[in-house]
Amino acid sequence: MKKLIQTFFALLFFLTASSTTIYAHDATHELINQQLPVWSILPFVGMLLSIAIIPLLKPHWWERNMLQVALAWSALFIIPFAYMYGYNETYYRLLESILLDYIPFIVLLFGLFVVSGGIAIKTTLIGKPLTNTALLLIGTLLASWVGTTGAAMFMIRPLIKANEWREKKVHLIIFFIFLVANVGGSLTPLGDPPLFMGFQRGIPFTWTFHLFPIFAFNAILLFLIFFGIDSYLYKKELALGKTPAILGKKVEKHSIEGIHNLLFIALIILGVMANGILPKQVAFFANNNGLPIFDEIVFPYATIVEIILILLAAILSLKTTSAKTRQWNEFSYGPIAEVAKLFIGIFITMIPALMLLKTHGAQLGLTTPWQLFWATGSLSSFLDNTPTYLVFLQTAGALGEHPGIQTAVGIVPQLVLEAISAGAVFMGAITYIGNAPNFMVKSIAEENNIKMPSFFGYMIWSCGILIPLFIITTLVFFI
């Protein structure tokens, strides 16, 4: 923990110190965006294929070398890009991705992971269909208020422990990803980063309540499908002689240890909200004020406040939570370390994909709600859903249609905004990398000896269940 925090501040010091020796250049970033060839996304494709294929062929090698693979694919993007466009432009793009996107992203995940890992729900709940449905429902409802990551980290361990006795439990984790880690985060800007970015661009905080009918429709159908599958497998296991019982740790009564960590979750939420509210309410933070780093890149003071509050919450959680509580949760840094290693490669190699999307997104001829629902969603399944959402939000703001929601990028028709928002949040469930908690949930499940499907194996589940559901959603809401 101390090494991780020291490394973060060392990186922050290096980046800020570099601003005194490196000066702004005259390159036109938009011109480079327009010149960028499509083949520049090949390292990103290679990164995705590595995540999908190598764990199947050499799982132990992959566990030891995933960071090296991520950095190798990153180098295959960085070196040709630097040769074609120069050091300054490359440095600018890396700073934009790592400093402004990756560091806040991984700090938030780290904070929620550490704090939620200090809350141990000790219970004798037995993993039956109704019990599992209730646990998923609690997580789904929590997600919009503490974020999909917070809800996922809070609820995944109780679900796993309640079902320790069961042999068939992969479906539990898959539907947990669908509902808690994605669909559940659609009702407030706190639920998922794209919606929070919309809030920062003038969309009212309570506007996301308009998504409730779409959320309820998808959630109800997913719960019905889940209950049917879980009931079938539960009866099948009982018929084979499996006994519903909690294995290993026995408890005499229901209890929650480390409940004070809820205060630290509130502190993290306060940090996230401060990043959006301070620039609007306090002049010191307005107009993207911050530390000048390089060229046009500024590290906003509001983001620094968010990071400090999140790290403070994590440190306080570690200092005030009993080691036995974390032992009960079988807490380790493995899942967050895996996410940090893989996503540094994803964030770097997807730079050209986002550059191309930003430049050519408006030229795709997408104007109707159903088109924007699928375009935003399908790209959010593989790219970071926040910049994808912002690209299509800006595209929608340029349509010039009235009436609609007044935003910083123009007036966006109500149904179009619903389509973009639902696509960005819901379709993050289609791949493991579509939303960060997906991969963390997968890692925690595997630490608990649940053999999860491969990258493509998971997509068989998600495409088989979610794509038909989203087609129905399109017909009901967006046509």
211-244 per-position pLDDT tens digit: 999 999 999 999 999 999 999 999 998 888 777 7
d(CA 257, CA 400): 54
Q: Is the pLDDT reported for residue 250 higher than 80?
A: no
pLDDT band at 401 (very low <50, low <70, confident <90, very high): low
**One-letter amino acid for residue 46 of the chain:** G
State percent of the chain over pLDDT 70: 90
CB-based contact 422:214 (threshold 8 Å): yes
pLDDT of residue 331: 86
The residue with tokens 């149904």 is 415
| pLDDT tens profile 60-69 | 999 899 999 9
Over residues 432-447, mean pLDDT? 90
The average pLDDT across 407-416 equals 85
pLDDT tens sequence across 355-381? 887 777 667 778 889 999 999 999 899
Distance, CA of 18 to CA of 21 (rounded, Å): 5
Cα–Cα distance for residue pair 362/342, rounded to 1 Å: 30
E strand or H helix at 293: strand 290-294
The burial class, CB within 10 Å (0-12 / 13-18 / 19+), for 65 is middle
Say which residue, 360 or 441, is predicted with more confidence. 441
Average pLDDT over residues 313-341: 90
pLDDT band at 18 (very low <50, low <70, confident <90, very high): very low
13 has a pLDDT exceeding 60: no
**Quick one: tokens of 126?**
């037995």
Cis peptide leading into residue 453 (ω within 30°): no
Task: Quick: pLDDT tens for 153-199.
Answer: 889 989 998 898 888 899 999 999 999 999 999 998 888 888 888 88
- Position 364 scores a pLDDT of 73
Q: What is the pLDDT of residue 392?
A: 85
Q: In the predicted model, is pLDDT for residue 109 greater than 90?
A: no
Model confidence, pTM: 0.84
Q: What is the pLDDT of residue 391?
A: 82
Asked if 435 and 385 count as a contact pair (C-beta separation under 8 A), the reply is yes
Q: 125 near 414, Cβ under 8 Å?
A: no
Whether 281 has a pLDDT exceeding 90, the answer reads no
Residue 121's H or E segment, with its range, is strand 120-122
Instruction: For residue 24, count other CB atoms closer than 10 A to its CB.
Output: 13
Q: Is the pLDDT of residue 47 over 90?
A: yes
Quickly count: other Cβ atoms within 10 Å of residue 456's Cβ. 13
Half-sphere exposure of 377 (CA within 13 A, CB side): 27
- Predicted local distance difference test score (pLDDT) of residue 210: 93
Whole-number pLDDT of residue 263: 94
Give the chain's mean pLDDT: 86
Q: Which residue has the higher pLDDT, 357 or 309?
A: 309
Name the strand (E) or helix (H) holding 389.
helix 385-397
Instruction: Please name the helix (run of DSSP H) or strand (run of DSSP E) that holds residue 406, with its range, or none.
Output: strand 405-407
* Cα 473 from chain centroid (whole Å): 22
* Residue 312 in this model has a pLDDT that exceeds 90: yes
Q: What is the dihedral of CA 365, 363, 92, 297, to 10 degrees?
A: -70
At residue 7, does pLDDT exceed 70? no
Distance between CA atoms of 171 and 177, rounded to whole angstroms?
10
> Quick one: what percent of the chain has pLDDT higher than 90?
46
The pLDDT of residue 26 is: 44
Report which secondary-structure segment, H or E, holds 297. strand 297-300
Q: Residue 479 and residue 415: Cα distance in Å, rounded?
A: 10
Instruction: Report phi then psi at 58, rounded to 5.
Output: -140, 75
> What is the mean pLDDT of the segment spanning 255-263?
89
Model confidence at 354, pLDDT cuts 50, 70, 90, reads confident
Higher pLDDT, 365 or 94: 94
Please state the φ and ψ torsions of residue 191, each to the nearest 5 degrees.
Answer: -70, -45
Q: Tell me what the mean pLDDT of segment 131-153 comes to.
A: 92
For the record, the structure tokens of 417 come out as 């905004």
122 forms beta bridges with 255
Please tell me the distance from the alpha carbon of residue 473 to that of residue 477, in angstroms, as a whole number: 6
Q: Is the peptide bond before 213 cis (omega within 30 degrees of 0)?
A: no
Q: Which residues pair with 103 in a beta bridge?
A: none
25: left (phi over 0), alpha (psi -120 to 50) or beta: beta
Q: Which residues sit opposite 217 in a β-bridge?
A: none
pLDDT at residue 123 in the model: 73
How many CB atoms within 10 Å of residue 246? 17
What pLDDT score does 245 carry? 60
411 phi and psi angles, rounded to 5 deg: -85, 125
pLDDT at residue number 21 = 38
